[in-house]
Chains A and B, each alone.
Chain A
Amino acid sequence: MIPRNMRAVSILLAMGALAPVATAQRSAAQTSTGVPRLAFEKTTLPNGLEVILHEDHSTPIVVVNTWYKVGSGDEKPGRTGFAHLFEHIMFMGSEHVPTGQFDKLLESVGANNNGSTTEDRTNYYESLPSNALPLALWLDADRMGHLLPVMDQAKLDLQRDVVKNERRQRVDNVPYGKWRETVLAALYPPDHPYHWPVIGSMADLSAASLEDVKQFFRTYYAPNNATLVIAGDFNRDSALTWVNRYFGGIPRGPQMPPRPVVPAVTVPRDTFLVLEDRVVLPRLFEVWETGRIYAPDDAPLDVLADVLAGDKNSRLYKRLVFDMQVAQDVTAFNNSTKLDGNFNIIVTPKPGQTPTRMAELVKEEIDKVAKDGITPRELARALNSRRASFLDQIASVLGKSDRLAEYNYFAGTPDYIQRDAARYDHVTAADVQRVAAQYLTKPKVVLTVVPQGKTDLMVTGGTR
């Protein structure tokens, strides 16, 4: 999530993110209890709106975080990027909130707000001084219940231009920026919801119509497809009174269309791709299909990513960047969401080094883990750092509201943070070795982004 204001972020990122928690010597049971439970109350309104309340009076601020169970994975062919474009339109005013007033009313009470879209869900939040809670609820209810009476072509056209600029700023004008959509298109079949990028294509953004906006709203933006999380400094009874007052009269929508059926992902053999870009150095991307978030192998795959490229002592960093000094940087992560996941390894060779050499070294290191396993120290480093991150995720009220909403949607209950942490406590060295052998020796998608005119640097199967 990229915050709208960078108020409190920049320096800490420069300092090296926030980490934390856990003594290596502690037992698994002890460490997982180090993550506090997030107490909550969950109710459902007669119109189907889920409401999750979490009180935290340590700071006089409150967060309203509304999740709609719709994302880019629900888009129709020829309309990629629409869920996110629609998210933008939700800020353009509703029947009782003239265009421009949504943000002005919120800023006038000292609030920050934003929204975001992924493959699986769309969310909107306001973080405000605690006295302003009714305002956020009223604004969110008005756009949930009364968006279309004032919807028009001008709002769509304006935000279409903004979103196209967002795409330029995040993808088209960024070195290597098209890597992700290129890989996804090769990894997932055309009818898989993750085949296309959340931001969508320029052509599809151009094609979006006012009728699409209306149809999308009627289909997905109903209380029975949404979860409202209120976290922070509020009084429970007052909050429920306001929720009922503002949201209670919004009629239930039609039954949601079923979420897309996920076709089998099969990569029968290694797929090699090349993309020319205006870059000084080539970059290698290797991606394997894995599995959905919270699946049994999800946590071991996260740990495998740490072992391969988590810090200076990780296998790939130490060998390629630190010892041999043939790579400028290495990255590894397991990106898992509601329907599926993928494991990514990214290496930028130093000037004069080739992506093919990087691919050979990556394969050697994967094979070593798959064949010989990892040391207890490697496991401890990864697990201790993973555990430590849980406290940081709940340091802010906004962070807590995101945890509750995400667990509610992806894990089926808001009450999941301790189980989430415990998943890592139970990862063993043997698990990590097994998932390396099971997933990273499967056929993969290999993309080489090369400087223009240097397609000869492309990694191909012939080098193996």
Chain B
Amino acid sequence: MRPSRRLSPTLAALAALTYTAACGGPPVVTTNVPAAPRPVVSAPIDLTVPPTLGPPPALRLPPITTRTLPNGLTLVVVEQHELPLVDVILDVRTGGEADPAGKSGAASLTAGMLTEGTTTRSSLQIADQAAYLGVRVGASSGWEQSTVSLHAPTAQLDSALALFADVALHPAFNAPDLERVRKVRLTALQQVRDRGPAIADRAFATALYGEQHPYGRPLSGSEASVADLTRDDLVKFYTTFYRPNNATLLVVGDVRPDDMERRAINMFGGWTRADVPTVNESTASGPKATTLVLIDKPGAAQSSFRIGGIGVPRSTKDYFAIQVMNTILGGSFTSRLNQNLRETHGYTYGAGSGFSMRRTAGPFQASAEVVSAKTDSAFIEFMKELRAIRDTVPSDELAKAKRYLQLGLPEDFETTGSIAYQMLPLVTYGIPLDFYDTAVQKIGAVTQADVQRVARQYVNPDRLTIVIVGDRKLIEPGLRALNPGEIIIRDVRDVLGTASMK
């Protein structure tokens, strides 16, 4: 372990999906001027004030080429020739949102089985070949996408792509492998009981969306649903949604578009298209009044706070205004939540907030892990900031947030992996791939009025869902004294069910 000054707040994984697009270089600089050698100044230099900086460099976005194969598969090639590496992601535009009722975890388990055997390779053979080649092959699912991924040196591209395509196109879903993986997953779900932050994540989603909405159910399934999923369920999910006309092959790295198109046709040209059903959109309205769900975790050293509401879909017109507002509220180290709860009061190692933007409105969430003894004090400060963000934001604070987002963009396009990470949400949610070309200007155009409008629209202190997981006997009296609204007391079994340990 290497203690460092900062750990991202626990919602970082969630927030990361929403910050991805957030930045850009300065709009006025259109050419990259190499830093001119600064003359050695002979005049006295005042070392007591920060140096004056030259203009920031232009953002250089990598070239993007799009092709469409006859079977409907879209190919997106992003060229990055710095190192002989490539990241390949097959992005299937359906994920856990499509899990049938009572079968939560179907998308996740389907993806999880792809690397567990194909019609010609066993699970162990897949792993053996990947390690022998020095490449990584994986598969997983999110709410609205299922991905098969490859990271490889270009020297191994032929063999690696063959392995990757086999995993994506010819999964066997062998029964013994399914039972083995099922056991691992069921045990992992039991182990969620050990972790207060994980319990809080699960409880927050359910409290906010309800179990009738896909986002209110666990993406990787519950113990009950994972126990019941059948091989037929997975085969059905796979054959229904894993279709070329429902997928994009995203390639980032040291490759050329024509060469990749040839390879894509070789590997994926025989993949047959089919009608893919539309997944019904579910709606959720959130609580009518602020509600606190207090989940008892005896002995917990910290209280896990999850506070929020229904946010926005990725297609929102308010995308950049929300990014700027959230950067101020809880999206950076100097954000209000972190400055208040950590740097002013020391209640936590880090506090933050984020909007998880999905096909339909995902959650807005503020979070922190707070020392038990300061749970009530932290609650007061959270609420203070969630109210204050609705007031006019000072102009210098607005400017800092905008520059942080705009000027941070080059770093987001540094490696093949980081570029793929930036591009994937665009592909999944159908955002034009030139999105980043104008991001800088659009961030720059966000005004104080915009920030206030989206804060008032999407952060409503009177209709919050609040989940706190902690040691009830220590924290309940202080919380009750604050009259936070309705308090619902739960224990871990209410969230996760009764452990079925064998």
Residues of A within 8 A of B (CB): 1-12, 14-24, 57-61, 84, 87-88, 91, 95-96, 100, 103-105, 107-112, 114-118, 127, 129-132, 134-135, 138-139, 141-142, 157-166, 168-170, 172-175, 180, 197-199, 233-235, 237-238, 241-242, 245-246, 249, 278-281, 310-313, 318, 321-322, 325, 328, 350-352, 377, 380-382, 384-385, 387-388, 391-392, 394-397
**Most B Cβ at <10 Å: residue of A5, A23, A392:** A5
Cβ-defined contact, A2 with B7, below 8 A: yes
B389 to chain A, nearest CB (A): 17
If A8-B415, A129-B407, A238-B35 touch, whether A351 touches B51 (CB-CB below 8 Å) is no
B90 to chain A, nearest CB (A): 11
Q: Is B152 an interface residue (CB 8 A)?
A: yes
Contact stretch, chosen from B122-130, B226-234, B451-459? B122-130
Q: A103 CA to B346 CA in the complex, in Å?
A: 17
* B475 CB to nearest chain A CB (Å): 14
Cβ 8 A contact of A325, one of B183, B197, B404: B183
**CB atoms of B3 and A170 under 8 A apart:** yes
A373 CB, nearest partner CB in chain B, Å: 19
Of the listed stretches B37-45, B277-285, B288-296, chain A binds B37-45
In the complex, the chain A residue whose C-beta lies closest to that of B6 is A4
CB-CB under 8 A from B416, the residues of chain A are 395
Closest chain A CB from B23 CB (angstroms):
7
Please indicate the chain B residues that have their CB under 8 angstroms from the CB of A165 in the complex: 302, 346-349, 369-371
Given contacts A135-B50, A279-B194, 17 further A-B contacts (CB under 8 A): A8-B414, A23-B156, A59-B410, A61-B410, A109-B403, A110-B406, A114-B4, A114-B5, A116-B3, A135-B53, A139-B50, A165-B369, A173-B197, A199-B3, A249-B47, A313-B127, A396-B418
Which of the residues A110, A161, A242, A280 comes within 8 Å of B23, measured between beta carbons?
A: A110
**B424 in the interface (beta carbon within 8 A):** yes
Q: Would you call A19 and B369 a contact (CB within 8 A)?
A: no
A sample of 12 inter-chain contacts (CB < 8 A) reads A11-B420, A15-B151, A58-B82, A88-B5, A107-B404, A108-B403, A129-B25, A141-B47, A166-B349, A235-B37, A281-B191, A313-B124
Contact A311 B140 (CB under 8 A): no
Closest CB in chain A relative to B60 CB, distance in Å: 7
Question: Which residue of B is nearest A138, CB measured?
Answer: B51
Answer whether A116 and B4 are a contact pair too, CB < 8 Å, given A9-B16, A107-B333, A352-B502: yes
Leading 5 A-B pairs by shortest Cβ distance:
A110-B407, A161-B346, A388-B134, A16-B138, A60-B57
Q: Chain B's nearest CB lies how many Å from the CB of A70?
A: 14
Residue of B nearest to A394 (CB): B83
- Contact of B499 with A by CB under 8 A: yes
Cβ A235 vs Cβ B34 within 8 A: yes
Selected from A163, A166, A377, the residue in CB contact (under 8 A) with B132 is A377
Q: Would A199 and B1 be within 8 Å (CB), given that A8-B421, A396-B415 are in contact? A: yes
A115 in contact with B50 (CB, 8 Å): no
Task: Return B32 CB to nearest CB of chain A, in Å.
Answer: 7
Within 8 A of A (CB), among B148-198: 149, 151-153, 155-156, 180, 183-184, 187-188, 190-191, 193-197
A66 to B140, CA, bound (A): 38
| CB-based nearest A residue for B20 | A7
Known: A6-B15, A7-B16, A165-B349. A60 touches B58 (CB 8 A): yes
Smallest CB-CB separation from B159: which chain A residue? A23
Inter-chain contacts of A350 with B (CB < 8 A): 183, 187
Q: How far is the CB of B341 from chain A (nearest CB, A)?
A: 10
Is there an interface contact between B56 and A131, defined as CB atoms closer than 8 Å? yes
A131's partner among B57, B347, B499 (CB-CB below 8 A) is B57
Q: How far is the CB of B383 from chain A (nearest CB, A)?
A: 20
Identify the interface centre among A88, A105, A172, A173: most chain B CB within 10 Å of its CB: A173
Q: In the docked arrangement, what's the CA distance between A20 and B57, Å?
A: 31
B36 within 8 A of A: yes
Q: Is the CB of A19 within 8 A of B2?
A: no
A404 to B448, CA, bound (A): 44
Inter-chain CA distance A135–B347, complex, in Å, is 30
State the CA gap A172–B50 with chains docked (Å): 40
Shortest Cβ distance from residue A324 to the other chain B in the assembled complex, whole angstroms: 11
Closest residue of B by beta carbon distance from A172: B301
Residues of A within 8 A of B132 (CB): 24, 377, 380-381, 384
A381 CA to B345 CA, complexed, in Å: 50
Q: Are A11 and B421 in contact (CB under 8 A)?
A: yes
Residues of B within 8 A of A8 (CB): 411-412, 414-415, 417-418, 421-422
CB of A197 to closest CB in B, whole Å? 7
Contact B195 A175 (CB under 8 A): yes
Q: Contact partner of B53 among A58, A131, A392, CB < 8 A?
A: A131
CB-CB under 8 A from B197, the residues of chain A are 173
Q: Which residue of chain B lies nearest to A164 when distances are taken between CB atoms in the complex? A: B371
What residues of B have a CB within 8 angstroms of the CB of A233 in the complex? 35, 57
* Residue with the greatest number of chain B CB neighbours at <10 A, chosen from A7, A96, A391: A7
Instruction: Assess whether B135 is interfacial by the CB under 8 Å rule.
Output: yes
Query: Which residues of chain B have C-beta atoms less than 8 A from A16's C-beta?
Result: 136-138, 149, 151
Q: Nearest-CB distance from A111 to chain B (Å)?
A: 8
> Is B447 interfacial (CB-CB < 8 Å)?
no
Whole-angstrom distance between the Cβ of B173 and the nearest chain A Cβ: 17
Question: Is B191 within 8 A of A385, CB to CB?
Answer: no
CA distance A166 to B408 in the complex (A): 26
CB of B301 within 8 A of CB of A2, answer no
Q: Which residues of chain A are within 8 angstroms of B60 by Cβ–Cβ distance?
A: 59-60
Q: A20-B85, A162-B346 are in contact. Are A280 and B53 (CB under 8 A)?
A: no
Separation of A279 and B371 alpha carbons in the complex (Å): 20
Chain A residues contacting B47 (CB-CB under 8 Å) are 96, 138, 141-142, 245-246, 249
Task: Answer whether residue B432 sits at the interface, using C-beta atoms and an 8 A cutoff.
Answer: no
B501 contacts chain A at the CB level, 8 A cutoff: yes
Knowing A6-B13, A166-B3 are in contact, say whether A11-B55 is a contact too (CB < 8 A). Answer: no
- Name the distance in Å between B398's Cβ and chain A's nearest Cβ: 11
A397 contact set on B, CB distance < 8 A: 414
Q: Flag if A385 contacts B2 (CB, 8 Å).
A: no
A129 with B34, Cβ < 8 A, contacts A165-B347, A170-B1 known? no
Contact of A59 among B37, B153, B414 (CB under 8 A): B414
Q: Is the CB of A311 within 8 A of B180?
A: no
In the complex, which residue of chain B has the Cβ closest to the Cβ of A166? Answer: B349
> How far is the CB of B112 from the nearest CB of chain A, in Å?
12
* Chain A residues, CB < 8 A from B415: 8, 395-396
On whether the beta carbons of B194 and A175 are closer than 8 Å, the reply is: yes
CA distance A312 to B116 in the complex (A): 10
Q: Taking CB as reference atom, which chain A residue is nearest B369?
A: A169
* Residues of B contacting A19 in the complex (Cβ-Cβ under 8 angstroms): 134-136, 151-152
**Contact (Cβ within 8 A) A117 B53:** no
Residue of B nearest to A11 (CB): B421
Contact B135 A61 (CB under 8 A): no
In the complex, are the beta carbons of A96 and B49 less than 8 A apart?
Answer: yes
* A381 close to B347 (CB less than 8 A): no
A2 touches B2 (CB 8 A): yes
CA distance A134 to B136 in the complex (A): 39
- Cβ-defined contact, A15 with B147, below 8 A: yes
Q: From the candidates B55, B82, B155, B418, name the one contacting A23 in the complex (CB within 8 A).
A: B155
Chain B residues within 8 Å of A141, by CB = 47
- Cβ of B84 under 8 Å from chain A: yes
Among B38, B123, B334, contact of A103 (Cβ-Cβ < 8 Å): B334
Chain B residues contacting A199 (CB-CB under 8 Å) are 1, 3
Contact of B38 among A10, A17, A241 (CB under 8 A): A241
B490: Cβ under 8 A from any A Cβ: no
Q: How far is the CA of A427 from the CA of B333 in the complex (A)?
A: 44
